[in-house]
Structure 1
Amino acid sequence: MTLRADPADAPPAPTRIRRFSRAERWVHRTTALLMGVCVLTAAFLYVPELARLVGRRELVVRVHEWAGLALPVPVLAGLASRAFRADLGHLNRFGPHDRRWLRAALRRDKRAESRPAGKFNAGQKVYAAWIAGATLVMLGTGLLMWFTHLTPIMWRTSATFVHDWLALTIGIVLAGHIGMALGDPEARRGMRTGSVSPDWADREHPLWRR
């Protein structure tokens, strides 16, 4: 005779699923703060209407420079966290499901079954790769603009051109990133508290949930 398990003996389903460690949330918050300072100070330096509101332009320049130099520090410090290193590995790998996700996004197909995703979807992976590369370019061109006596004038002129236009592009991409976050309260809760609901994980990141 086969004995059936009593449903009452089954372990309770988790009410929340751990998604991010404390170290990962610290890296995200600190990086977001420094990036926000860079974007805000850049706006005060380049938008005439905002520049007129600043009494000490030299101070704004110094804050912008030091915030830019500090931008890679949280990520470098986060490498001490095993969870953070593991997530960098997830972000750095593209699989067949990611290509499927991107094709669905281009078709504006929002069905969950058309957008399979692991811990990070393909859009998040593309954003992470782009913003990491853009940050390195901004850091390099910013240093060329800061230490003007070390490089030829053509280098400084080219660095200024790239720095200014890439800064505008970063501002637009960040606005899109923030807009996506505002449209997903559970994703924001996961970054704020470190855990998400099982229903959200099953819907948005089914491969990770499995």
Structure 2
Amino acid sequence: MPHYPGDPVPEIKRVQALEEGAEANVTHLSLSAHAGTHVDAPVHFFSGRAGIDELPLDATMGRARVVHVPGEGQVSAEALRAHDPRPGERLLLRTRNSDRRWWELPFQESFAGLTREAADFLAERRVGCVGVDYLSVAGFHEDSPAVHRTLLDAGIWIIEGLYLGEAAPGDYELICLPLRVAGSDGAPARALLRPWTRG
């Protein structure tokens, strides 16, 4: 599992095994709250703000829109403007990151993420949630703390580490629930999309 540089290396270890005479299989997990697919909480960048256990369920569940943001560079405000984000919208950004099975590869510093101007634009539009298809919402060589702070301070919940390679642009039902860890700055999550069928 790739992990953001500086974060702990994820470890998954079977500590009790039926094959070795144990009464049950038991696995020990050791990983950052920001490993794999995960949700960032405001306390990730603001002391005293909401932890992941305070996530409103409707922030990451309900109608969501996948938009394709092509190109080799970072996700710009201009590229997002073309999709006309709406207030409260759950917006999932499919970039070139989803053209490969990135979670099976070493960490790539060249991944596509938001520029600071793009974060400012989404904050101005007051979207409710933004999801990205790599381990950080901000490009590796961007001002990552500023991008995160801009979004989180505007009340935008962040889903990182999505794979959107099989999701065509359009409306879906998003179901994304992070582990409810009290006071945590984030938590791993399982994120699912299914076609939006309601009116």
- Same fold by TM-score, threshold 0.5 exceeded? no
TM-score by length of structure 1 reads 0.27
TM-score by length of structure 2 reads 0.28
Q: Which structure: larger Rg?
A: 1
Q: Which has the higher strand share?
A: 2
Q: Which has the higher helix share?
A: 1
